[in-house]
Amino acid sequence: MFQAIANAAFLILAGVLWSRLKPFGTDAAQMRRSLTSLVYGFLLPALVLLVLWRAPLGVAALQVAFVAAACVLGGLGIAWAWFRWQGTPPRVLGTVLLAAGWGNFTYLGLPVLEGALGGWARSVAIQFDLFAATPLLLTLGILLASRLGGRASPRGLLRELVMVPPIWAALAGVLLNLAGVPLGEWLEQLLEMLATGVVPLMLFSTGLALRWASGVREKLVLVVPVLLIRLAVAPLAILALAGALGVTGELRTAVVLEAAMPSMVLGLVLCDRFGLDTALYAEIVVLTTALAAVTLPLWFALLGTL
């Protein structure tokens, strides 16, 4: 676990330093968009197809999807209740809801789970994200962001969902798996080769996206509740839910670690697009990502004693 966190931290830090130092005169924002497009549109679908084609699909997959939906909706519900009670303005409310509800389930969750638990755990991270978190983000998340940010989505919610390459890859992988279609050796080697680029590029691009704005002390009343929800309350609730569902062993460890991931980086794009507080969201991402380097090993150690 510690090695996995250290490797992830190194690649994220490398991205942060690259964005600050700008070697070879590269523009960090343009580089991040290029890397993200490559991973999101080509390499990640290859990984998703490979993993879900080979992964055992049964009750465990349904449990992961249910737990993931509960994680997102639970975080949203708690954040909504707290910040509405505080009288938070709509634009800021939309920002903290995105940060509290959705974690970095794939970009950080996948390498952490794989490093801590082994290659089998890649399917948990992918199922957690694509079977529940991403569909909820592209429907409920966009709906909340557009309503609270004051900018309507230029495309319908259904079209937003359809335009996600990893979801198509997930659907293909599940159908091929259930149909018992064999994965040929040549295709498996090709998909494996493409999949190897996903984790380092995702983590490096995460570092490129992290940015800091001044005035965080004045925003602690907004930031601290999100930190608690994302890094402590959500995984604790999922730990209890996993017990109620009979999820035990390494699968329980995997879903709780997924629930403990820091706020998703993709939220920066949604904040820009729908007029939310991008600076506040960026600060939350930086802080939750930094603190996750401490809280994730703590959760892993705690789960090992249960």
Please give the Cα distance from 274 to 294 (Å, whole number).
32
- pLDDT for the residue numbered 85: 92
Please give the Cα distance from 35 to 202 (Å, whole number).
8
CATH architecture, domain defined by 29-305: Up-down Bundle (1.20)
181's tokens: 């279609």
Q: At what angle do helices 109-117 and 2-21 cross, to 10 degrees?
A: 150
Q: What is the pTM of this model?
A: 0.85
User: In terms of Cα–Cα distance, which of 122, 109, 127 is closest to 69?
Assistant: 127
Please give the Cα distance from 182 to 153 (Å, whole number).
41
- pLDDT for the residue numbered 22: 85
Q: Indicate the SS3 state at residue 148.
A: helix
The residue-averaged pLDDT of 243-260 equals: 95
Q: Exposed (0-12), middle (13-18) or buried (19+): which is 104, by Cβ within 10 Å?
A: buried
User: In terms of Cα–Cα distance, which of 226, 244, 236 is closest to 298?
Assistant: 236
Mean pLDDT of the chain: 87
171-200 burial, b at 16+ Cβ within 10 Å, e below that, comes to eebbebbeeeeeeeeeeeeebeebbebbbb
The residue-averaged pLDDT of 258-274 equals: 87
Domain ranges of the chain: 29-305
The residue-averaged pLDDT of 124-136 equals: 91
The residue-averaged pLDDT of 249-276 equals: 90
Contacts of 84 (CB under 8 A, 6+ apart): 93
- pLDDT for the residue numbered 105: 93
Does 276 score more than 60 pLDDT? yes
- pLDDT for the residue numbered 258: 97
Look up residue 263 and give its DSSP letter: B
Q: Indicate the SS3 state at residue 103.
A: strand
